Amino acid sequence: MSTIITGTGSYIPSIVKTNQSFVNNSFYAENGELIATPSEEIVEKFKDITGIAERRYADANENTSEMATKAAVLAIKDAGIDPETIDQIIVAHNFGNVLAGTIQTDAIPAIASRVKNQLGIKNPACVAYDILFGCPGWIQGVIQADAFIKAGMAKKCLVIGAETLSRVVDVHDRDSMIFSDGAGACIVEHSDDSNTGILASSVQSHCDDETYFLYLGKSYHPEGEEATRYIKMKGRKVYEYAIKNVPIAMKECIEKAGVDIHDVKKFFLHQANEKMDEGFIKALFKLYGIKEIPKDIMPMSIHELGNSSVATIPTLYDRVKHGFYKEHQLHKGDIVIFASVGAGMNINAICYKI
């Protein structure tokens, strides 16, 4: 018995925001002081550090739930299943629906309930619920689906990661350039083939000093509204925390699966920072005493799609699976790792055999 991904789908918003879109912004530091460095230099340095050249924003008429539904439709079609046979709809997000021009989070009803409604699923035994787990939310949703399936409480689950971060960013904060919008989905099903699917998972929550590395705070602009809150990030602390702990979690997952590191074909990592992801892989292989890292082992979408939080990994996996990146091919029997890190602070990983 195993749990396998039988279908994937993703929705990439149409609005492209290049780095040049931010050169006229006035950036302020956390203490409210104007950053004297010209915005052009800030933007250029940002690209060097993160690898992001452009990102996607949702159209004013699109919401998180609608993007989630569009990705779900594609995943259902890819899996070739009847939507009425889905036992659970699990949607990972952080802010629910945020209407364009507002900053207010709307998660009542749950995004999963809205997706079920938009899919037209009538079956009351199809349970729809949301999870909040920071950027690792989609992976956590798959881990939960796996647990329900192996417990005999579900046979088919729809797991979605969707977010419209562009609507909760402070335009006066340099970190706002990281975030983007998107949605990715997958169908997870029971299989009698024990030689495939999810081999192992690993999850960690560090909620001591790390709890508020990502949080909601007021604008860095000194005249910003005190009552309005935006997504904020202690970038250096997040980096230091992640570069230390993510490789450990991935190694734990690989060892639980009984897999040789040399047999891992691809790493699908949360797309937050190009250099950080490269650091994860180097640190992981170093834990095994390996200096030479195989080429083309880590697909990346951050350059053109930015950081869409819970949507980054399912979107990337779907695009690789369907041949969007020609240099990255997946084959039956390949072993891949999904791993993410985010607010909480939370880390998780899955070892999966295609």
Tell me the catalytic residues. Answer: 135, 270, 307
CA distances from 46 to 19, 73, 164, 177 (A): 9, 35, 21, 8
Q: Where are the beta strands (DSSP E) in 103-191?
A: 127-131, 156-164, 181-191
Q: Are strands 264-269 and 88-92 parallel, antiparallel or unpaired?
A: unpaired
Q: How far is CA 199 from the centre of its chain?
A: 21
Place of tokens 């452009």: 54
Residue 258, Ramachandran bin (φ over 0: left; ψ between -120 and 50: alpha; else beta): left
343: left (phi over 0), alpha (psi -120 to 50) or beta: beta
CB 348 within 8 A of CB 201: yes
Burial (CB count within 10 angstroms: exposed 0-12, middle 13-18, buried 19+), residue 33: exposed
